[in-house]
Structure 1
Amino acid sequence: MNFDKRTRRPVLLAASIGVTAALVLSACSAAGTAPAAKAPSPADVDAAAAAALPARYKEAGTIKVASDIPFPPMEMFDDNQNLTGFDYDLAQAMGAKLGVTMDLQTQSFDSIIPSLQSGKHDVIMSGMNDTPERQKTIDFVDYLHAGFSILVPAGNPGKIATVLDLCGKDVAVQKATVQAEILRGYDAECTAAGPGPMKIAELPLETDVQTAVRSGKAVADVVDSAVASYAAQTAGGGTMFEVVRDPANPAGYNPVYTGIGVLKKDSGLSQALLLALQAVVADGSYAEILKKYDMGDYAVDAAGLNLGT
């Protein structure tokens, strides 16, 4: 199985935030709804994007966004319990172009697509990877292109140098993400090499995964590179974890697109979101948000629909 680079390197929003703090923030967000989103200003509206927005969203004045909060640095709470993160900032910029509020609401990742299908939410914005399998159910407005990394305890006691060093070992990933599928793609190689397939534990939250690694229940966490880098920089003041640097894959494994998920029947909404994203790119806001989180290397060359293959 051929894996390639795809990494994001976010800056610290609050250097003191570590795994323990993240667990506390997870509890704070469990009620299901994040703090109120910002109201759009008429001066920020993009005429083309606003005109394309279906009437029911204009009338509601709100697009309900399903988001697995917290998932630093994509969505998280700051020290004052205000929602922040790359997805949040981008959603606010796009909402301003559409003339509506983009309201991020907490939804567990393993039920995030059903939350659209039930009508609970209108779109997904939660660092979700655009994959052919998911495209069977939803469309994607793609806004990032990055990869996966291996997060290990500081000092790398398992001496993990490449993904094949995980063969036969206990590895943790978040439930319902694509990382488990990727790692199972190495089963044949791992079996041929001797140690056998990786022993993959799928846990509900990324914070649970990091706790498993900290406690020694797993030798590594395989996760989006932005999340891995953020954890390595922030947890315990940057002393708890490190990211494995594979010389053959210097920017991470398996480059894929990340996008906003929209039901296929809501193609008008997808088109409006695409126009809003293009407007945010054109006015420089997209670049500013990428810079804020040190994710400039992972910008899409051009905003598009269903770029994942």
Structure 2
Amino acid sequence: MISTKHTGPSWLILASVGIAAALVLTGCSGGGTAAAPDAAPAAGDIDKAAAAALPEKYTKAGVIKVASDIPFPPMEMFDENQKLTGFDYDLAQALGGKLGVRMEFMTQAFDSIIPSLQSGKHDVIMSGMNDTAERQQTIDFVDYLHAGFSILVPAGNPEKITTVLDLCGRDVAVQKATVQAEILHGYDDECTATGAGPMKIAELPLETDVQTAVRSGKAIADVVDSAVAAYAAQTAGDGEMFEVVRDPSNPAGYDPVYTGIGVLKKDSELSRALLLALEAVIADGSYEEILAKYSMTDYAVDAAGINLGS
């Protein structure tokens, strides 16, 4: 979904109460309801340039409605008190502070998240969404991460997976509507050449579903954004449930892509304001702090930009 949610985009809850609780929480991922009340930004946080660039409709409303596929740890998730948290959420609050408005997260299934934006239910998307050429035909991206995908396997790596080609001919799971399936199909010719044949890819509704498939043996691996894979390996089952396959030839993950805030092309002024806010968050060190909080420093962008994935 690094779509890579992308390529992006899964476990604070799991660390404390186990995967069953996370699966219960997926029931909160409905279509366009507010996930949690978001605090109003402090006046001292406002960046004058970013706030001035924000279209008047958002300034008057005092809120930007954010579509997000919740949960998708560590990008968006609930903590042990069922309060919304995660990298996207924290970054959004920092951006809202610079703009002088609330960033109100609303749950939306990922496979319908762009149509919901087009319908006017939401103003932007923040859901680990990868910036791809295909998606750029419909929306613009204010890019804030750069990372590849990783292979998540059960702890101990019982199938001895070492590279992506070890998945050839095997059952692999990915989240539906992410770009992982497309990327993996890009290995079809190489897999055929090995004699094992293409990967057998199951696309499941939620990342929690994908990880459950791996735990139950229905799939030998979950192919997911590197940040999501790393977080699951560190926290699920107290760090004893999964591990990430380390491919020395691809230390940052396979096929790195940008992840960004999705904005309708007609709302270019909003994109510009968000870009200025992101630049301000990077400049004051907040961006680096949020990355470090979720162990995502390796996925920082060198500089903020719009449609860097083109």
Counterpart of 2:184 in structure 1 is: 183
Structure 1 gaps of 5+ residues are: 1-5
Distance in 2 (alpha carbons) for counterparts of 1:152 and 1:19: 15
Q: CA 1:300–1:11 in structure 2 vs 1: closer, same or farther (change >3 Å)? A: farther
Structure 2 gaps of 5+ residues are: 1-5
* Post-superposition offset of 1:215: 0.7
Q: After superposition, give the CA deviation of every residue in 1:200-238 in whole Å (9 maximum; x if it has no partner).
A: 000000000001111111010000011111111111111
Q: CA 1:168–1:11 in structure 2 vs 1: closer, same or farther (change >3 Å)? A: closer
Indicate whether 1:233 and 2:237 are aligned: no
Distance in 1 (alpha carbons) for counterparts of 2:143 and 2:42: 25
Distance in 1 (alpha carbons) for counterparts of 2:40 and 2:14: 25
Indicate whether 1:270 and 2:271 are aligned: yes
* Post-superposition offset of 1:260: 0.2
Q: After superposition, give the CA deviation of every residue in 1:67-109 in whole Å (9 maximum; x if it has no partner).
A: 0000000000011111000000000000011010000110000
Counterpart of 1:22 in structure 2 is: 22
Indicate whether 1:84 and 2:85 are aligned: yes
> TM-score, normalization: structure 2?
0.94
Contact residue 147 and residue 258 of structure 2 kept, 8 A: yes
Q: After superposition, give the CA deviation of every residue in 1:86-141 in whole Å (9 maximum; x if it has no partner).
A: 00000000001101000011000000000110000000000100011111110000
Contact residue 14 and residue 22 of structure 2 kept, 8 A: no
Distance in 1 (alpha carbons) for counterparts of 2:147 and 2:17: 23
Q: CA 1:30–1:112 in structure 2 vs 1: closer, same or farther (change >3 Å)? A: closer
Counterpart of 2:212 in structure 1 is: 211
Distance in 2 (alpha carbons) for counterparts of 1:108 and 1:50: 30
* Post-superposition offset of 1:27: 2.4
Could you say what secondary structure the match of 1:149 adopts?
A: strand
Distance in 2 (alpha carbons) for counterparts of 1:87 and 1:176: 19
Give the letter for the 1:20 counterpart: A
Q: CA 1:29–1:110 in structure 2 vs 1: closer, same or farther (change >3 Å)? A: closer
Distance in 1 (alpha carbons) for counterparts of 2:226 and 2:76: 14
> TM-score, normalization: structure 1?
0.94
Give the letter for the 1:197 counterpart: P
Stretches (4+) displaced over 3 A? 10-15, 28-32
Distance in 2 (alpha carbons) for counterparts of 1:189 and 1:290: 35
Give the letter for the 2:266 counterpart: K
Counterpart of 2:115 in structure 1 is: 114
* Post-superposition offset of 1:251: 2.2
Q: CA RMSD in A?
A: 1.8
Counterpart of 2:309 in structure 1 is: 308
Contact residue 19 and residue 231 of structure 1 kept, 8 A: no
Distance in 1 (alpha carbons) for counterparts of 2:44 and 2:53: 18
Give the letter for the 1:208 counterpart: D
Could you say what secondary structure the match of 2:249 adopts?
A: coil
* Post-superposition offset of 1:24: 2.3
Aligned pairs for 1:27-176 within 5 A: 27-30=27-30, 32-176=33-177
Counterpart of 2:287 in structure 1 is: 286
Counterpart of 2:3 in structure 1 is: none
Q: After superposition, give the CA deviation of every residue in 1:35-64 in whole Å (9 maximum; x if it has no partner).
A: 101111221111111110011111111100
Give the letter for the 1:247 counterpart: P
Q: Identity across aligned pairs (percent)?
A: 79
Give the letter for the 2:38 counterpart: A
Could you say what secondary structure the match of 1:103 adopts?
A: strand
Give the letter for the 1:260 counterpart: I
| Higher mean C-alpha deviation, range 286-295 or range 90-99 | 286-295
Distance in 2 (alpha carbons) for counterparts of 1:110 and 1:7: 15
Distance in 1 (alpha carbons) for counterparts of 2:133 and 2:243: 31
* Post-superposition offset of 1:185: 0.3
Contact residue 147 and residue 253 of structure 1 kept, 8 A: yes
